[in-house]
Amino acid sequence: MKKSIQFVLLFVSFVAFSQTTRFIYDFKYKTDSTATSYQSESMVLELNNDEIQFYEQKAIRIDSLNALNNNGSSSYTFEFAKIKRKLSTSTNKNYYFLRGDYWVYESNDKIEWKIENETKKIGDWTAQRATTNFGGRKWIAWFVASLPISEGPHKFNGLPGLVVELYDTKDNFIYKLLKIEKPKTTNTNIVETVFKKNPVSIPYKKFREMQIDNYNDPYYQFRSMREGTWAINVGGQKVTTHEGLNKVTRDLQAYLRKNNNPIELDKVISYK
């Protein structure tokens, strides 16, 4: 109990007096819903005064390297959206890298929660259960009222306490809070800068059209070019011909069809 009280006091001091607080989550996920094993990533829910950023922890290292690298390129890649919003609001900026450029679109994602009486111990905390239907999936969240911030991973905010555990009922996506950090330095625009490209604002409808175009013809820029004037490397394979483009296109299409399990299932594209 003493340890729990000390942790809560430390947490409150973070929120009250620190410009930046990072909540580190373990994120297990399946890009293929039929997979029997998970991929995993450490995710950061970062609070900067009245603003939230949600991104992969490895982006911090890449962003630091980018600051030292002046050649204009970035080695960063990740298939899920990075998120930015004002604290405890439902208007999210969604950042994606697609077709060689960086894009952002806004979405209104108000979460309607049903708070239940059930509680359980998660570490030293007493967590309370809540459920919601969001993005075509049913989700179960465990929040801690003694951690007084109405936020959580991805777009899941609006509960009277921090979400420390979250999963969908089919266990495709699982978030668990690992630790809380107070960094000495931070980039409050990391989701904008990690690709070393300025994000271009577009409506979601346009972004969806681009996803379909990317499936149909991912290497379009090379098809009109004469063979022998270009070469690309795809997964360690050197491609120099239009027939080679056809093969890597088919390979990518097969990959996208198989790994087509977005967090927000109502946004899934039926690739054919």
Residue 189 shares a structural domain with residue 209 = no
Residue 136 shares a structural domain with residue 209 = no
**Is there a domain that residue 199 lies in?**
no
Residue 92 shares a structural domain with residue 125 = yes
Give the residues of the chain that fall short of pLDDT 70.
Answer: 1-18, 67-68, 70-78
Give the pLDDT confidence score for residue 8 in this predicted structure: 47
Q: Would you list the DSSP string of the chain?
A: -HHHHHHHHHHHHHHHH-SEEEEEEEEEE-SSTT-SS-EEEEEEEEEETTEEEEEETHHHHHHHHHHH--SS------SSPEEEEETT-SEEEEEEEETTEEEEEEEE-----EEEEEEEEETTEEEEEEEEEETTEEEEEEEETTS-----STT---SSSEEEEEEETTSSEEEEEEEEE--SS--TTHHHHTTSSPPEE--HHHHHHHHHHHHH-TTHHHHTSPTTS--EEETTEEE-SHHHHHHHHHHHHHHHHHS---SSGGG-----
**Is there a domain that residue 41 lies in?**
yes
**Is there a domain that residue 260 lies in?**
yes
**Domain total of the chain:** 2
Give the pLDDT confidence score for residue 93 in this predicted structure: 98
Residue 18 shares a structural domain with residue 44 = yes
Of 169, 193, 217, which closes a domain? 193
Residue 183 shares a structural domain with residue 235 = no
Angle at 91 between CA 161 and CA 109, to 5 degrees: 75
Report the candidate in 259, 265, 228, 256 with the shortest Cα–Cα distance to residue 244: 228
CATH code where residue 122 lies = 2.50.20
Residue 164 shares a structural domain with residue 110 = yes
Residue 115 shares a structural domain with residue 229 = no
Residue 173 shares a structural domain with residue 49 = yes
Of 136, 164, 193, which closes a domain? 193
Residue 208 shares a structural domain with residue 174 = no
**Is there a domain that residue 43 lies in?**
yes
Sole residue written with tokens 């630790």: 179
Amino acid residing at 92 = N
Give the pLDDT confidence score for residue 186 in this predicted structure: 84
Give the pLDDT confidence score for residue 37 in this predicted structure: 97
Residues 227-240 have pLDDT tens digits of 989 999 988 889 99
Say how far apart CA 262 and CA 265 lie, in whole Å.
5
Give the pLDDT confidence score for residue 184 in this predicted structure: 87
Give the pLDDT confidence score for residue 15 in this predicted structure: 53
Residue 141 shares a structural domain with residue 172 = yes
Residue 175 shares a structural domain with residue 216 = no
Residue 227 shares a structural domain with residue 188 = no
Give the pLDDT confidence score for residue 9 in this predicted structure: 44
Query: What is the rounded average pLDDT for all residues in the chain?
Result: 89
Residues 84-124 have pLDDT tens digits of 999 999 999 999 989 888 999 999 999 999 999 999 999 99
Say how far apart CA 111 and CA 237 lie, in whole Å.
44
Residue 255 sits in which domain range?
204-267
